[in-house]
Amino acid sequence: GENVEQHPSTLSVQEGDSAVIKCTYSDSASNYFPWYKQELGKRPQLIIDIRSNVGEKKDQRIAVTLNKTAKHFSLHITETQPEDSAVYFCALNSGGSNYKLTFGKGTLLTVNP
Amino acid sequence: EADIYQTPRYLVIGTGKKITLECSQTMGHDKMYWYQQDPGMELHLIHYSYGVNSTEKGDLSSESTVSRIRTEHFPLTLESARPSHTSQYLCASSEPPAYEQYFGPGTRLTVT
């Protein structure tokens, strides 16, 4: 399947700081890029996604940017809060009508009060 | 309420037993998926289905099998459980043209 690399694997920030997680991919046909948040013991939940015809999307404190030329996309969380602590996964499809998603290895974000 | 359900939530079973993990969704989605996930680790697609009577193996090889006889139901079966099958199993669904996948709460399986 499609390869996606996610960095960093762990990230620790102080409350109020910003956090950035980046994913790189190789298949230029990918056109859907979601981010999932998984709290301890809970199911993954979609928090934001972006499609290939858009460069940036924002939802309150969360934003995603996409650089199709460089084949990377990033999750930005501003004014972090302790409840943002979780594992975050990027994902992407393989392009066309392929509805399968390939997930990154995840980033454990810890927001220290 | 439209949702995706998995049972059991936790299962401890001995080696060699046959088990079936249940997944049902009330959202009317055509596409369904099974992922295997070790705690806090990446999700590996092991099976998917694009509709009734359609099943395919995913990117990670698995000894499990699946069936899709009804749109809302996508059970996963292990004929002979082994300790290496110990993991969390997550079911998900989606509906074209949207790509978003919605996950169930998962089944945490322990094989002793």
Q: Is the pLDDT of residue B40 over 80?
A: no
Task: Tell me: pLDDT of B21 over 70.
Answer: yes
Please report which confidence band the pLDDT of residue A28 belongs to, taking 50, 70 and 90 as the band edges. Answer: confident
pLDDT attached to residue B1: 72
**Higher-scoring residue by pLDDT: B2, B41:** B41
Q: Residue B39 has what pLDDT? A: 80
What's the pLDDT band for A53 if we cut at 50, 70, 90? Answer: confident
Q: Residues 6 or more apart from B63 whose CB is under 8 A from it?
A: B78, B79, B82, B85
In this model, does residue A109 exceed pLDDT 60? yes
- Give the distance from residue A40's alpha carbon to the nearest chain B alpha carbon, in angstroms: 8
- Residue A1, pLDDT score: 54
Q: Could you write out the DSSP letters of every residue in B9-26?
A: SEEEE-TT--EEEEEEES
Query: What residues of chain A lie within 8 A of the CB of B29, using their CB?
Result: none
The A62-67 sheet, strands edge to edge: A4-7, A19-25, A72-77, A62-67, A56-59
CB-CB under 8 Å, B103 with A34: no
- pLDDT of A106 strictly over 60: yes
- Give me B102's structure tokens: 């919605």
| Chain A residues closer than 8 Å to B31 by CB | 99
* HSE value, Cβ hemisphere, 13 Å, CA-based, for B2: 6
pLDDT bin (cut points 50, 70, 90) of residue A94 is confident
Contact B104 A43 (CB under 8 A): yes
